Amino acid sequence: MTLSAAPISPTIVTGDDVYAPQEDSHLLIEQMNALPGGVVDKTVLDFCTGSGVVAIAAAGSGAAAVTAVDLCPNAARCAADNAAAAGLDVDVLVGSFPEALAAGPYDVVVCNPPYVPAPAIEDQVTPLTGPTQAWDASVDGRLVLDPLCAAAPDLLTANGTLLVVQSEYSGTAQTVDALRRVGMDAEVIAEQRVEFGPVMKSRATWMHEKGLMDEGCHEETLVVILATKR
Ligand SMILES: C[S@@+](CC[C@H](N)C(=O)[O-])C[C@H]1O[C@@H](n2cnc3c(N)ncnc32)[C@H](O)[C@@H]1O
């Protein structure tokens, strides 16, 4: 593996049940590396690490220490294997907010959470299959985004930075407002228009029926929100 000073996408291997890095992963890495001074000498938390792609990019970009957290043991194992294969030091934890908080606080928190709106179980015509917890995030897409915003000040050191990527369909303004409500400065710093992937394609009819999306939509805007602890 070749690492440049600010690698965008390290070589990553994933199994069937671990989220393979996609546009949202790369957009988050790009914005992390574009922070003033990048993550050099910073402590970094990659919350919802999946394959570890963002954590590994942080470790390869000179972070002082990188912690990666994922609820899914297979994802955590995958992230640890990918970090080891890259020869980079990442402390991978299986867990969620309690584990991330216990190992913190951090100078930089990066997160690509599950954010796709999903039918409530009772509304599902066909039960969802596969590693759906990587993307399904309840009817409003905010299953992880809301607790992340609430926990952000406790996860961060003074003047620490949160970078979170999400879809326009999971409430960009809600995230910005939620972060401001907990006393942080927050703004959208990047946007990228992308074609729907397989999950959004399969969800489009339901989202249209729920009034969450115009009929015939086939693209979404991904946003990266930056929030700073005052
Ligand atoms: C969209 S994937 C992102 C993976 C990777 N960070 C990337 O950018 O490619 C979301 C990941 O969050 C994990 N996850 C879902 N809910 C979580 C929670 N409450 N706490 C920690 N991890 C969670 C899933 O297991 C999945 O690996």
pLDDT tens per residue, the chain (230 residues)?
A: 333 344 445 689 888 789 999 999 999 999 999 999 999 999 999 999 999 999 999 999 999 999 999 999 999 999 999 999 999 999 999 999 999 999 999 999 999 999 999 887 544 444 333 468 888 888 899 999 999 999 999 999 999 999 999 999 999 999 999 999 999 999 999 999 999 988 889 889 999 998 889 998 999 999 999 999 98
Say what the pLDDT of residue 197 is. 87
Residue 67 sits in which domain range?
A: 23-229
- β-strand 156-167 against 219-229: which pairing, if any? antiparallel
Residues 6+ apart with CB under 8 A from 85: 1, 11, 13
From 47, 48, 111, the mutation candidate for ligand 1 (largest count of ligand atoms within 8 A of CB) is: 48
Say what the pLDDT of residue 131 is. 62
Tokens 């969620």 sit at which residue? 96
Which residues are 68's β-sheet partners? 46, 92
Atom of ligand 1 at shortest range from CA of 46: 6
Query: Looking at the domain assignment, is residue 170 inside a domain?
Result: yes
d(CA 156, CA 178): 16
Say what the pLDDT of residue 121 is. 56
Query: Looking at the domain assignment, is residue 34 inside a domain?
Result: yes
Tokens of 32: 């992390």
SS3 category, 68: strand
Tokens 């009772």 sit at which residue? 122
Check if the beta carbon of residue 220 is closer than 8 Å to that of residue 200: yes
Ligand 1 centre to CA of 90 (Å) is 16
Query: Looking at the domain assignment, is residue 68 inside a domain?
Result: yes
- CATH number for the domain spanning 158: value is 3.40.50.150
From 67, 70, 128, the mutation candidate for ligand 1 (largest count of ligand atoms within 8 A of CB) is: 70
Say what the pLDDT of residue 84 is. 96
Atom of ligand 1 at shortest range from CA of 147: 19
Total structural domains within the chain: 1
Query: Looking at the domain assignment, is residue 155 inside a domain?
Result: yes
Query: Looking at the domain assignment, is residue 40 inside a domain?
Result: yes
Which of 37, 209, 203, 221 has its CA nearest to residue 135?
203
Query: Looking at the domain assignment, is residue 3 inside a domain?
Result: no
Say what the pLDDT of residue 127 is. 39
Say what the pLDDT of residue 130 is. 41
Query: Looking at the domain assignment, is residue 5 inside a domain?
Result: no
- Spell 67-105 as b/e; 16+ CB within 10 A means b: bbbbbbebbbbbbbbbbeebebebebbbebbebbeebbb
Query: Looking at the domain assignment, is residue 6 inside a domain?
Result: no
- Ligand 1 pocket residues where CB is under 6 Å: 19, 21, 25, 48-51, 53-54, 69-72, 75, 96, 112-114, 133-135, 144
